[in-house]
Amino acid sequence: MFEIKMTINGKPMTEANIKNEIESMMLDAVVEGAKEAITSVLTQEEASQITINLIGNNIENLSLEVNGPEAIVAKVENALSD
């Protein structure tokens, strides 16, 4: 038979590390998607007034907590809900 090897981001994948690597890539995608949505609706000054926490036990159970002035938080939450 033949052998198949997988490399992600230059790292050889094994059964032991593939789950962590895939979860890391998914998390990065979530963060980048949120950044794009938020920067499209906020000015730099508004963005400097908020803090966003990504909360969850695993990649399947994540939520974003937005803290800052109420009007800015509402804009962020609206952008993220689209």
Domain limits, the chain: 7-81
Condensed to tens digits (0 to 9), the pLDDT of residues 24-53 reads 888 888 889 888 988 889 999 999 999 988
**Amino acid found at 28:** D
pLDDT at 16 over 80: no
Cα–Cα distance measured from residue 34 to residue 82, given in angstroms and rounded to the nearest whole number: 11
pLDDT band per the 50, 70, 90 thresholds, residue 59: confident
Distances (CA, A) of 55 to 1, 6, 58, 67: 44, 30, 9, 13
Question: Mean pLDDT, the chain, as a whole number?
Answer: 86
pLDDT at 64 over 80: yes
> What's the whole-model pTM score?
0.68
